[in-house]
Structure 1
Amino acid sequence: MEEKLLELIQKIAEVKGDSNSEVELENKIAFETGKMEGLSLTEKESIVNTIAAKLGGELYTNIFFAFWSWIVTEQNSYLMKQVKELINSSNITWQEKYYLADQINFDMFNNIHLRTPELEELVVELHHMAIHEGKQLVDVPASIGAVEQNAKNKDLVIILTSQFLSMNHGPTKTALDRAYILQKYYGKKVFLINTAEMRGMAGEMPVYPVRVGSYMPHWNEVEEITYQGEKIAFFQCYMDMPNIEDTRALVQTIWKLNPAMCLNIGGGSLVAACVNEFLPTAIIATVPSGIPFPECDIICIGHAPTSVEETTLKNYGIKKENVIVGRFTSSFKPKQHTYVRKDFGLPEDAFLLVVVGLRLTEEISDEFVAMLDSVLSENIQCVIMGEMANYEECAGKNEKFRKYVHNLGLQEDALAIYSLCDLYLNPIRLGGGTSAAESMSEGVPVLTTDLGDVALEVEETYKVKDYEEMKQWIFELEADWKLWKKWSQAAKEKAEELTDSKKEFIKIIKQIEKCMESKDK
């Protein structure tokens, strides 16, 4: 097995840029890797170490191996070593550094078992170096030097987002919601720009597995979006971002427009970092339980920073007074239907659990499936709403899962589905905040561990220490209708707080304005 894997890994660098060959190799690697699934961690590490000892010095091969070994063993020693070597290396471009940081960051978000504070710190440093090198090439002073700047437009706000998809996508809804509030209630005119910098193809390198960000080409033809009656000016970049030429053009445009404010939804943007050189730019976190890549002067997060986060922000030049803690609020796609359970073949009398997400393939772990297996029956069943590519595989391995877990896939009217359910379960993960808030708005209470975005939204009562305690609460709520009704009412009340974007976001905007005024003095 080692020799076959070594041969495949060494071929990676040879086909860089040949997409057909890369896909073929990816499939072969995945097939060979699948043979390791039943092995113990010690056996996996033995295979990985044997291959490592035989690798040559080819850079892209070593990078691929570092990613592959990380995913296979969930041990990051080879990846840590590789990232340390690449941070200040001139052997790869700034775009490749950006690409690698983006890929690692996504994998850590997708699978919390892969996260460690040490790796997170290195990834922030790698991304910061990529942005630094990119900014040097954009050369903001020279880029804007030949462009005449208009008079200050105190009514204009630029919103930058790195990905813009549909109303099923939380960060897209966040960007539109913030734009709507600024125009409808704060007297501003918003220009929303999708910089398309999230997991694009720029700087593509051989990693395992490749995580390509979703991109909607039809937005390229759109110059204005109507959202809840507000017409919002819009522009979308092509998927080859970040690159110097288009970044420079956007920076020149924003300089010429001379807006009152620039907001970066999500962080991690070269465009935002460049604009920040002449206009203090605020990063608005979309993952309230974490902090974004700190590339601008002002940052808004959904929780009080930990001591480690405070040190990170300080190290990257963000002053304590420019760290804004604000409530993260959500907006929902309006409910359009009234369903009954039989419309989806769901049992009429069962206590229905619901698990929601676009990354459930990774987030529904073996441990979570084992917890479900211990509670599922004719009386307690489960709905999956979202994307779970391995649903059939799980159903084939587990009789209870096959019989009592109903996969509804993606649903356009999520609120209508929640109304059919009784209890929202949050797997151990970082995301899920918007779907949990949607669930609570329909009176469906939430159970979550004390980790991630969902834990920030719910009361302490609804947090559990582990899956064993989650299982106990499922049984208790299913058996005690009065207790469930109490939780249901509390969920609705909490959802009202979590959807009051007008109140909470305007608070944040006023704090951002104060930070900008202070910097101008």
Structure 2
Amino acid sequence: MEQFFGILQRGLGQLDATGEYEEGTLRELKESYQKFDAAMQQNMLRVIEQSLAKFPITLQIYIWSSLLAVLRDEKIIPYMGELTADDSLNLWQKVELMNQLQRTIFASEMIKDEEAEYKRNSDAYTALMDEIRQQNKKEFSYLPWEKRNKKIVLITKQFIGRQHAPTEITLQMNRYLKELGYEVVLYVAYMPNRNTAPLWYKQCLWNNFMNTAGAFQGEIEGEELKGYNLLFTEEHYPEQLYDAAEMIWQEAPEWVLEIGDKTILADLCRQFTTVLTRRCVKTIPVTNAPIIVLALDYTMAEERRYQSWLKPYQQFVKVKHSIVGNTVVVEKEKKENYGIPEDKFVILLVGNRLVQEVTEDFLKTIYTMLEENPKAVLAVIGNCEALEKRIAEAYRERFYFLGYTEELQKTMTIGDLFLNPPRQGGGTGALYAILQEIPVVTLDNCDVQVNVGKVFTCDSIELMVNLVHQYCEDKGFMEKKKEACRRKAEEILAVDEKENYRRLCEFVETYTIRQEKQVQHPDGR
């Protein structure tokens, strides 16, 4: 234990001087921590908690967030819980910290006890919403169904581009609902943090299609859109939230659909209209909305398990939505166009969070794959310059960093295999791979597995090495998996999203009218 704290002290000195841990210190800190069993690790974390107690809250949070990023241990999260809810922090800071924590968890695949983390997350979110309502007691009168307009409001935190899954889903929903005769208005609940004091280690800077507040209307990303970009600021955050809620109340929509979760704004709308939440990944959303939209395939066991986590008034409604449902298969690109010899076996690594998702341990796994398969190379697609710098010198010539592309599906056609690192995201890229008959290698219990099916999963990272070797060497095995791709592609392209959303509209109307006839609160409580 003494050795661990010596390394930690050295690392905190580096953090104070440069804002970063040195690479050697990162490695030593993690290796030293992992030598201990769970009980001893918990004792070590308690010692850290006692040692940090004398520091300002914001500094404590920053240090804990750095340890979470380095050690990737879910046991650290509870130590941050009380700190991020401290009364010395304003509401904007609390929401920002909640978002940063969720982003770190999402990109790291550290959660082992999914139910416990969901409960912690849900309790923290509910407490935050209670605080927001206590600070601003503004009331909105309930809108009975017959007084609502044939209008649907979509709410999302960011609107970026088609390679961003929530943005692509928003664009598609906008199209389907308009085709069903609805007026659709998009509210982007954007919280820019570029010019605020950093509260989090390697803080994620949120991006958006607009950096000014105001209305927008016209063609955006090839779709006709209208709505409002809400530029929430730290100084006026609570007032701006309620001003935005009042704007939606004046719209008098039939219902509000939150894309993602914890937008805060959607929760305030429960007071006057029906609210639904639809998350863009496999795990169910943290929300107080009465209706949770399930757009992916779940087993009966998974549904029962997730149902047990819900509040008594909440329920699921299935709305199958394939994000690549209207996509067509594109012609295969030549590898040489990207500087890769045609005889190489190209393993695709795709994503814009690969810097966090591809750990040192997973990099070592990739190196083993390359050692065992002389013709294999890695084509890395996405913004990940920091990952490029981490590649060991001995393997640099076998990595091709292609950067970000607006033509992801087209670029991916150079691949022979899609490798999914341990993570929650990556589902869109995996679906493009399936449509292009590029088999997928993934672990179970993640978005990619849900999207492509069990046939492409393996039980451990170690087994990934054997599986990749089989793809490289066994042509019969490869052809069998390509046939599985074709079958899955037929299933994906057969989904009728517009009809599924028509049924959702009917469900919401029936649900709302039934709730209004009952004594309980119309929002489902």
Q: TM-score range by the shorter chain?
A: 0.7 to 0.9
- In structure 1, what is the Cα distance between the partners aligned to 2:34 and 2:436? 48
Post-superposition Cα deviations, 1:485-521, rounded to whole Å, max 9, x if no partner, equal 3422432442343353334444444444443333233
**Is the aligned partner of 1:172 residue 2:185?**
no
**Is the aligned partner of 1:152 residue 2:143?**
no
**Is the aligned partner of 1:481 residue 2:475?**
yes
**Is the aligned partner of 1:451 residue 2:445?**
yes
Describe how 1:320-399 pairs up with structure 2 within 5 A: 322-331=315-324, 339-376=333-370, 377-395=373-391, 397-399=392-394
Describe how 1:2-151 pairs up with structure 2 within 5 A: 28-31=18-21, 35-39=25-29, 40-42=31-33, 52-55=49-52, 56=54, 58-75=56-73, 77=75, 79-84=77-82, 87=85, 89-113=86-110, 116-117=113-114, 118-141=116-139, 144=140
- Aligned-partner SS, 2:401: strand
- In structure 1, what is the Cα distance between the partners aligned to 2:175 and 2:264? 25
Query: How big is the shift at 1:163?
Result: 0.8
- Aligned-partner SS, 1:312: coil
CA separation of 1:503/1:406 partners in 2, compared to 1, >3 Å: closer, same or farther?
A: farther
- In structure 2, what is the Cα distance between the partners aligned to 1:372 and 1:7? 32
- Read off the aligned partner of 1:391 and give its amino acid letter: L
CA separation of 1:78/1:150 partners in 2, compared to 1, >3 Å: closer, same or farther?
A: closer
Return the match for 1:290 from 278, 283, 289.
283
Q: Is the 8 A contact 1:96 1:203 kept in 2?
A: no
Q: Across the two proteins, how many residue pairs are aligned to each other?
A: 492
CA separation of 1:410/1:115 partners in 2, compared to 1, >3 Å: closer, same or farther?
A: farther
Query: How big is the shift at 1:107?
Result: 0.7
Q: Is the 8 A contact 2:158 2:188 kept in 1?
A: yes
CA separation of 1:446/1:104 partners in 2, compared to 1, >3 Å: closer, same or farther?
A: same
Query: How big is the shift at 1:350?
Result: 1.9
Q: Is the 8 A contact 2:256 2:275 kept in 1?
A: yes
Query: How big is the shift at 1:76?
Result: 5.0
CA separation of 1:407/1:103 partners in 2, compared to 1, >3 Å: closer, same or farther?
A: same
- In structure 1, what is the Cα distance between the partners aligned to 2:386 and 2:328? 30
- Read off the aligned partner of 1:312 and give its amino acid letter: W
Q: Is the 8 A contact 1:429 1:452 kept in 2?
A: yes
- In structure 2, what is the Cα distance between the partners aligned to 1:128 and 1:233? 31
Q: Is the 8 A contact 1:94 1:129 kept in 2?
A: no
The residue aligned with 1:21 is: none
The residue aligned with 2:177 is: 182
Q: Is the 8 A contact 2:259 2:278 kept in 1?
A: yes
CA separation of 1:415/1:8 partners in 2, compared to 1, >3 Å: closer, same or farther?
A: closer
CA separation of 1:329/1:95 partners in 2, compared to 1, >3 Å: closer, same or farther?
A: same
- Read off the aligned partner of 2:310 and give its amino acid letter: L
Mean CA deviation greater in 353-362 or 95-104? 95-104
Query: How big is the shift at 1:38?
Result: 2.9
Return the match for 1:498 from 482, 487, 492.
492
CA separation of 1:374/1:203 partners in 2, compared to 1, >3 Å: closer, same or farther?
A: closer
Post-superposition Cα deviations, 1:125-164, rounded to whole Å, max 9, x if no partner, equal 22221122113334341xx46x999983442111111110
- Read off the aligned partner of 2:280 and give its amino acid letter: T
- Read off the aligned partner of 2:95 and give its amino acid letter: Y
- Read off the aligned partner of 1:216 and give its amino acid letter: F
**Is the aligned partner of 1:224 residue 2:239?**
no
TM-score by length of structure 1 reads 0.83
Q: Is the 8 A contact 1:159 1:192 kept in 2?
A: yes
Describe how 1:199-218 pairs up with structure 2 within 5 A: 200=193, 206-217=199-210
**CA-atom RMSD in angstroms:** 3.4
Post-superposition Cα deviations, 1:233-289, rounded to whole Å, max 9, x if no partner, equal 2221115279222222221121112111211111102110011111120001111x2
Q: Is the 8 A contact 2:212 2:231 kept in 1?
A: no
**Is the aligned partner of 1:161 residue 2:135?**
no
Q: Is the 8 A contact 2:348 2:415 kept in 1?
A: yes
- In structure 2, what is the Cα distance between the partners aligned to 1:200 and 1:215? 11
- Aligned-partner SS, 2:402: strand
- In structure 1, what is the Cα distance between the partners aligned to 2:382 and 2:514? 44
- In structure 1, what is the Cα distance between the partners aligned to 2:13 and 2:337? 51
Query: Unmatched 5+ residue regions in structure 2?
Result: 1-5, 36-40, 518-525
The residue aligned with 1:266 is: 260
CA separation of 1:318/1:33 partners in 2, compared to 1, >3 Å: closer, same or farther?
A: farther
- Aligned-partner SS, 1:139: coil
- In structure 1, what is the Cα distance between the partners aligned to 2:358 and 2:58? 32
- In structure 2, what is the Cα distance between the partners aligned to 1:180 and 1:473? 40
CA separation of 1:96/1:129 partners in 2, compared to 1, >3 Å: closer, same or farther?
A: farther
CA separation of 1:150/1:470 partners in 2, compared to 1, >3 Å: closer, same or farther?
A: closer
Query: How big is the shift at 1:477?
Result: 2.4
Query: How big is the shift at 1:51?
Result: 6.0
Mean CA deviation greater in 113-122 or 65-74? 113-122
- In structure 1, what is the Cα distance between the partners aligned to 2:368 and 2:10? 40
- In structure 2, what is the Cα distance between the partners aligned to 1:140 and 1:497? 48
Q: Is the 8 A contact 2:347 2:377 kept in 1?
A: yes
- Aligned-partner SS, 1:113: coil
CA separation of 1:508/1:438 partners in 2, compared to 1, >3 Å: closer, same or farther?
A: farther
- Aligned-partner SS, 1:339: coil
- In structure 1, what is the Cα distance between the partners aligned to 2:122 and 2:427? 23
The residue aligned with 1:251 is: 245
Q: Is the 8 A contact 1:364 1:427 kept in 2?
A: yes
The residue aligned with 1:440 is: 434
- In structure 2, what is the Cα distance between the partners aligned to 1:153 and 1:75? 47
- In structure 1, what is the Cα distance between the partners aligned to 2:479 and 2:273? 50
The residue aligned with 1:236 is: 229
Q: Is the 8 A contact 2:261 2:285 kept in 1?
A: yes
CA separation of 1:221/1:280 partners in 2, compared to 1, >3 Å: closer, same or farther?
A: closer
Query: How big is the shift at 1:31?
Result: 3.9
- In structure 1, what is the Cα distance between the partners aligned to 2:490 and 2:227? 29
CA separation of 1:417/1:517 partners in 2, compared to 1, >3 Å: closer, same or farther?
A: same
Query: How big is the shift at 1:78?
Result: 5.3
Query: How big is the shift at 1:205?
Result: 6.2
Q: Is the 8 A contact 1:63 1:206 kept in 2?
A: yes
The residue aligned with 2:458 is: 464
- Aligned-partner SS, 2:28: coil
Q: Is the 8 A contact 1:425 1:448 kept in 2?
A: yes
